[in-house]
Amino acid sequence: MKKIRIIILGILLVLSGISRVAAGEFLKNYNSEKAKFDFSFGRDYNYGDILVTRVIDGDTLQIEDGERVRLIGIDTPEMHDSEKLQRDARRTKQDAATIQELGRRAYEFTKKLVEGKRVSIDFDVEARDKYKRLLGYVYLQDGTFVNAEIIKQGYASLMTYPPNVKHADLFKQLYREARENRRGLWAD
C-alpha cells in the first residue's frame, strides 16, 4: 500500500508540474518529510536583461534562450527567396533581387544596432505570433527603442496588426519623416 501511495504521489507531482509549465510556471522542487523531488521544466528568463545572440533578418532577432523575437510594428524587405518575397515583388512591382538587396541593407543595419548586445523586451497584448515567435518592443540598455530606431533611420515599413498597436502612432510619424527625409532604404 505504501508503494502505491508513493507512485500516486509521484504521478500527481509530475502532473502538477506539467500543469504549471502549461500555465507558464516552473516547478523547482518538492520537499516533504518522507521524500524530496527535484524537477527542472525549463529556465525563467529575465526579458528585462537578455542578450541578442543573432539577427535573423531586419525585423527578427534571436535571443540567448534560443527564442526568436519578431519586432512589433515593423516590416523589413525579405532577404531570402520565399513566398512573401514573391508577393512583395508583385505588390511593389520591384524585381525580387532588388527587394533582397534592400533586405540585406535592413539586416545589416539591425545587426549593427543590436547583435551581441543586452536588451530588454516589452510586450503588447499578444506575446506570440502564429509562428510561435515572441512579439516584442526591444530596447537597448542606453534606452534606444530598437523598433522605432529602425523605422526612424529608414530601414523598415510599418506593419500594424491589432491588438498590438501600443506604439502605432509613433511609428507612423517616424516612417513619414524617414520617407520625407530620404533616409535608409528611401535614399535611393
What nine digits make up the cell of 104?
A: 540585406
**Catalytic site residue 133?**
yes
Q: How many domains are there within the chain? A: 2
Say what the pTM is. Answer: 0.76
Residue 23 has pLDDT above 90, yes or no: no
**Does residue 44 belong to any structural domain of this protein?**
no
C-alpha angle 139-142-148 in degrees, rounded to nearest 5: 40
**Does residue 43 belong to any structural domain of this protein?**
no
Q: Which of 25, 70, 83, 128 is catalytic?
A: 70
**Catalytic site residue 78?**
yes
Residue 35 has pLDDT above 60, yes or no: no
- Strands (E) located in the chain: 29-31, 36-38, 50-57, 60-63, 68-71, 73-75, 118-122, 134-140, 157-159
What nine digits make up the cell of 31?
A: 520537499
Residue 13 has pLDDT above 60, yes or no: no
Question: What mean pLDDT do residues 72-90 have?
Answer: 94
Q: Which of 20, 78, 108, 177 is catalytic?
A: 78
Residue 27 has pLDDT above 80, yes or no: no
Residues 87 and 15 in one domain: no
Residue 72 has pLDDT above 90, yes or no: yes
C-alpha angle 112-73-100 in degrees, rounded to nearest 5: 55
Residue 25 has pLDDT above 70, yes or no: no
